[in-house]
Structure 1
Amino acid sequence: MCSAGVTHAEQLAATSRSNIKNDLNYLMYTPDDYASSDKTYPLVVWLHGGDQGGTDIEKVRSSGIPKLIEEGKTFPFLVFSPQNPSDELLYPIEKVEAALEEVMLKYRVDRTRVYVVGFSRGGFGTWAMAEQFPDKFAAFVPIAGGGNRHYLSRTNEKAAFWVFHGTSDDTIPLSDSVVLYERLIGLKRNARLSVLEGVDHSGVEWAALNDPELWNWLLKQRLEVAPK
């Protein structure tokens, strides 16, 4: 409780000048015809699940889109797969966005067709990217993720969402996706939800990524104007 006549310590305003090193490891996939063409390409940001985090980039090849590529699947788009440097914490999405900007300067990217696809912990990262960098991406595909529905009002009205979750997910409850999807619908966003009956946490990742309709839908999404 404050007492009259007591002198209080002063609060000084200051600005931090520290530089945070961005040391994200990542995998980069280019389509078969990339080197022989001069056209721009769509780009998918892939955010992996929790067990591929750390400093060993080879772990990122063991699941998700990178695993499909390792097994011989080809895609008509670039794939940027950053590794979460932590095996316990959520993705540092500011670092992901900064690394993505470097990648888009280096490669021929169609900036009207940049997408985020993420599973589990990467699904949480996908929702966060939609809220924090709303004007950068044309579409988001959170798979078995979750997030803060209160910030979905910041998402881009022109962006599209396709949410996947399994009914038998014992790791991330289905309700985590449903509440976010319902909030998007309330905001009149372009959103769809696929609830996969009897599919567990690991199963929904592969069910979504092996659905040809997902990729056909994703590549149709584009922003009217490329972000600056």
Structure 2
Amino acid sequence: MLITSVQAQDLNQYQRKYFQTATDTLPYRILYPENFNPSKKYPLILVLHGAGERGNNNESQLVHGAKMFLELDYRQQFPAIVVFPQCPKDSYWSNVNIVTDEAGNRSFNFREEKEEPTNAMQALLGLLNELEESGTIDKKRMYLGGLSMGGMGTFELLRRKPKTFAAAFPICGGGHPAGAKEYAERLPLWVFHGEVDGIVPVEKSQIMVDAIRAAGGDVKFTVYPGVNHNSWDYAFKEPELLPWLFSHKKKGFLGIF
């Protein structure tokens, strides 16, 4: 059983930082392991938030999922550097065309070709490169996940950086199936979605799961019966999520963390 305390749930343990490009600033929060030793290398967990948490306050991106990584048992069993970047209000992680009809229904049209990244994705790629080169990241154990818009961003970032991550967990996201072949055989995925999601239909994840399997990939697919768009509430409570994540290293490396 996980032990929870007021201190463990203090989101201020996530330090406020900013990644600066020539034209943009990407806010992000970073949680270091307990007794962090800068001379050691730690796994990285990069988590991408949804559209509702966009902005520049460097706070909203912690609304979903951040508390899980503060659980004392998790911090002791799985010491890692956890990063939550924040997408600007006027941008999007993935390069997707969203069309809203007169009734307010939205359709998500993912690009088949790998086009120029959005401003947010371009900044995210820069931040990822900076983290990789920081000297404190174990490049064999870099993990990626995200929810809704961040689930879409997870699929897109995997396509853009297919050799970077050891495992990934997209939640209620989607992407173009053509991109799956670039990373399908390189890393395992655990995909989550709500059965009755009224914002991003579960079929968006099913399409990606089918494409990954068709390309020879290793993918788990969990669909929560009767659950709408908030499938992240259930995914972040999965007791096996972090053990599953940390059981993987990049292919070509032996051993389990």
TM-score of the aligned structures, taking structure 2 as reference length: 0.73
1:120 matched to 2:148: yes
Counterpart-to-counterpart distance in 2, 1:21 and 1:223: 33
Counterparts of 1:193-208 in structure 2 under 5 Å? 193-202=221-230, 204-208=231-235
CA RMSD between the two structures:
2.1
5+ long unaligned stretches in structure 1? 1-18
Q: Aligned letter for 1:46?
A: V
- What letter matches 2:34 in structure 1? D
Hey, what's the Cα distance between the residues in 1 that align with 2:22 and 2:246? 34
SS in 2 for 1:57: coil
Of the three residues 65, 83, 96, the one matched with 2:124 is: 96
Change (3 A) 1:159 1:71: closer
2:84 corresponds to? 81
Shift of 1:140: 1.3
Alpha-carbon contact 1:135-1:156 (below 8 Å) kept: no
- Who is 1:58 aligned against? 59
Partner of 1:111: 139
**1:21 partnered with 2:23:** yes
Q: How many residue pairs get matched?
A: 205
Pairwise CA distance, 1:105: 2.6
| Contact 2:147 2:173 (C-alpha < 8 Å) held by counterparts | yes
Q: CA offset at residue 195 of structure 1? A: 0.9
* Mapping for residues 119-158 of structure 1, pairs under 5 Å: 119-155=147-183, 157-158=185-186
Quote how far apart the aligned CAs of 1:110 are. 0.8
Distance 2:69 2:170 in 1: 20
Cα distance, 1:72 vs structure 2: 6.8
Show CA shifts across 1:162-189 (max 9, x none).
1000102111100000011011110110
Give aligned-pair identity as a percent: 29
In 2, Cα distance between equivalents of 1:123 and 1:145: 4
After superposing the two structures, state which structure 1 stretch, 48-57 or 116-125, moved more. Answer: 48-57
Secondary structure of 1:25's counterpart equals strand
Deviation at residue 136 of structure 1 after TM alignment? 0.7
Return closer, same or farther for 1:51/1:71 CA change in 2, 3 Å cut-off: farther
User: Aligned in 2, Cα 1:225/1:86: closer, same or farther, shift over 3 Å?
Assistant: farther
CA contact (8 A) 1:160 1:189 kept: yes
Question: By percentage of residues, which structure has more helix?
Answer: 1
1:219 is the counterpart of 2:222: no
* TM-aligned CA deviation for residue 158 of structure 1: 2.2
Q: Name the structure where strand makes up a greater proportion of residues.
A: 2
SS of the equivalent of 2:243 reads helix
Match of 1:177 in 2: 205
The whole-number CA distance in structure 1 between the counterparts of 2:210 and 2:184 is: 16
Partner SS, residue 42 of structure 1: strand
Which amino acid in the other structure matches residue 153 of structure 2?
A: G
- In structure 2, C-alpha distance between the alignment counterparts of 1:24 and 1:198, rounded to whole Å: 36
TM-score normalised by the chain length of structure 1: 0.82
Q: Distance in 1 between matches of 2:135 and 2:233?
A: 28
SS at match of 1:195: strand
